[in-house]
């Protein structure tokens, strides 16, 4: 999507604030002893109250309002009555939704309660790398160069990136062009970021794996070599200078 009018910008801001607020409140609400289904229902109610529709549910028939992945699950985890959150768990919540014809997407990995399993270092790396990547994006920058930056920063910190999970364009649908904003330098991708376009930038920083594989449930993804992954995501508008971070309200950098 390319922002061409004030009303389009306002529409994107409203959809983005809905997903960002929902994500922030879900993170605050998450506690040891709670099931991921309880947490998902809480987020689904917030979206509903805001007049927003769950994007994975509407687009793909996903069995939940949000994606909640715990520990060795990397992404697209199905909220469940059987998954009970415990102190020290690494959890990822990904919230995307449609509001009045506009779509937005954001995600956050964090630790439940005390960091008993030393996941915080991985989480901080993912957050810092996302911040650096986003602040290097402007019109004309090669998408592959941002991928190279993300992978280089991950390697510096002793981590790897997941090569088959990517950021993407967003706005009038959940996934739009550019379809693949990879976390590594894809030398075959010659496309550049376009001024006024809307994109969801995501980091996929991992301890041991480089690819994500889908489990038998058809949704949940785990690492090809196990380990853990942190994902952080903002939806932004590309400009000539500093990008507009539409989902800033999620407070993932606070």
DSSP state of 171: S
Helix, strand, or coil (residue 184)? coil
The tens digit of pLDDT for each residue in 170-198 reads 999 999 999 999 999 999 999 999 999 99
Whole-number Å distance between alpha carbons of 75 and 215:
11
Report the share of the chain in percent with pLDDT over 70: 100
Answer yes or no: pTM beyond 0.85.
Answer: yes
Query: Does the annotation list 233 as a binding residue?
Result: yes
Query: Does the annotation list 234 as a binding residue?
Result: no
Whole-number Å distance between alpha carbons of 39 and 14:
23
Residue 33 — very low, low, confident or very high, per pLDDT cuts 50/70/90?
Answer: very high
Average pLDDT over residues 196-209: 98
Helix, strand, or coil (residue 230)? strand
Query: Does the annotation list 105 as a binding residue?
Result: yes
- Cα distances from 113 to residues 23, 86, 91, 149, 234, in angstroms, run 17, 8, 11, 31, 24
Q: State the pLDDT at residue 40.
A: 98
Mean pLDDT of the residues in the chain: 97
Report the share of the chain in percent with pLDDT over 90: 100
Query: Does the annotation list 115 as a binding residue?
Result: no
The tens digit of pLDDT for each residue in 210-230 reads 999 999 999 999 999 999 999
Q: State the pLDDT at residue 67.
A: 98
Average pLDDT over residues 9-37: 98
Query: Does the annotation list 131 as a binding residue?
Result: no
The tens digit of pLDDT for each residue in 43-76 reads 999 999 999 999 999 999 999 999 999 999 999 9
């Amino acid at each position: 999507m390319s922002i061409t009018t004030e009303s389009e910008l306002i529409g994107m801001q409203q959809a983005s604030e809905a997903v960002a607020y929902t994500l922030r409140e879900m993170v605050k609400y998450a506690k040891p002893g709670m099931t991921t289904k309880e947490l998902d229902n809480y987020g689904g109610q917030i979206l509903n109250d805001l007049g927003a529709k769950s994007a994975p549910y509407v687009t793909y028939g996903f069995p939940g309002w949000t994606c909640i992945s715990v520990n060795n699950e990397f992404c697209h985890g199905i909220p469940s009555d059987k998954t009970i959150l415990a102190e020290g768990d690494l959890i990822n919540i990904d919230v995307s939704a449609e509001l009045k014809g506009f779509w937005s997407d954001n995600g956050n990995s964090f630790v439940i309660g005390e960091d008993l399993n030393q996941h915080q270092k991985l989480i901080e790396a993912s957050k810092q790398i996302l911040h650096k990547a986003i602040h290097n994006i402007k019109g004309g920058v090669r998408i592959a160069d941002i991928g190279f930056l993300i992978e280089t920063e991950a390697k510096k910190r002793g981590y790897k990136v997941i090569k088959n999970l990517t950021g993407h364009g967003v706005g009038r649908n959940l996934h739009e062009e550019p379809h693949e904003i990879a976390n590594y330098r894809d030398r075959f991708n010659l496309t550049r970021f376009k001024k006024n376009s809307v994109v969801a930038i995501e980091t996929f920083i991992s301890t041991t794996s480089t690819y994500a594989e889908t489990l038998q449930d058809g949704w949940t993804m785990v690492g090809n070599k196990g380990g853990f992954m942190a994902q952080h995501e903002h939806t932004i508008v590309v400009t000539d200078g500093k990008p507009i971070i539409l989902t800033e309200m999620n407070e993932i950098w606070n």
